[in-house]
Copies of this chain bind each other. A is one copy, B any other.
Amino acid sequence: MSPRETSTEEPAAEVVCTGVRRVFLGGVVAVGGATIRIEPGEFVAFLGPSGCGKSTLLRMIAGLDRPTSGRVEVGETDPCNRSVPIAFVFQDSHLLPWRTVLDNAALPLELLGVNKSERRAIAREVLRDVELADAADRIPAELSGGMKMRVSLARALVTKPRLLLLDEPFAALDELTRNRLDDRLRTLWRERGTTMIFVTHSITEAAYLAGRAIVFSKRPARIVSDRALDLGTDRTADLRGTAEFAAAVRTLQKDLEAADA
């Protein structure tokens, strides 16, 4: 991954949720009082049953929604102020249907005022990283489901945010591509030290990627477990065969079963 070259490295952001609740109109409690503190530069995986409130929590952290009660702070400010640059890979790809893949990927740079040739060069590079170099000139309607998600990922990676939120970015990808992108993401994290929150339904993926895994209960989302995953910093495909990895996966599995009950 070769994201935008900037001269000054911005520090990773800290995320603090304090008693965050979100009740939707009609009384659906999506998040039922979550208190989480994520240190700058952490790589955290969110796990939990379908419909438990993970996406809702992520949206609040991104400042796209407000808690009904409780507070969210990113880099010590309200995320709704947009003072901390955040990137977000939504659960659905949400591409602009009238733009080519290239210009979709370059959108955040465009909004930052980067000039056309520069932003296109950067976007082209990131598209190569997500294995979409040959689809740069197509429009979203001409892409497969997995390709759309990869464009959406590329769009999040062109900038250098202080916090990167990923909502099941690889669910629609085959295992091989997924593993490759896992590795890229991990490398990127090590290079940049960005704070990352990663929602996934794959326990192995969570264990492989994250330094910490938070498991949520069925709706309303409450924290069932919050574990550090001490599997070292250098993670390669071999890790998947080790006993520690298997143990970590098993623990998370148990947590999830508890969450589902």
Contacts and interface: CB of A to CB of B under 8 A. Distances in A.
Interface residues of A, number: 38
A174 B28 contact: no
A49 B147 CA distance: 10
Given A51-B143, A173-B201, A177-B260, 10 more contacts: A28-B138, A28-B142, A49-B174, A50-B144, A50-B173, A55-B144, A171-B172, A175-B202, A176-B256, A178-B201
A60 interface: no
Nearest to A174: B201
B202 A51 contact: no
22 contacts: A26-B142, A28-B142, A49-B174, A49-B177, A50-B145, A50-B147, A50-B172, A50-B174, A51-B135, A51-B146, A53-B144, A91-B172, A145-B168, A171-B172, A172-B201, A173-B201, A174-B256, A174-B260, A175-B253, A175-B256, A176-B260, A178-B201
A220 interface: no
Looking at A26, A144, A150, A171, which has the most chain B CB atoms within 10 Å of its CB? A144
A55 B174 contact: no
Given A178-B201, A260-B176, A51 B144 contact: yes
A55 B173 contact: no
Contact of A176 (B28, B49, B92, B175): B49
A178 B203 CA distance: 13
A47 interface: yes
Interface string A156-194: 000000000000100111111110000000000000000
A97 to B, nearest CB: 14
A26 B175 CA distance: 29
A133 to B, nearest CB: 12
Looking at A24, A48, A53, A142, which has the most chain B CB atoms within 10 Å of its CB? A142
Nearest to A177: B50
A69 to B, nearest CB: 20
Contacts of A260: 174, 176-177
Contacts of A175: 201-203, 253, 256
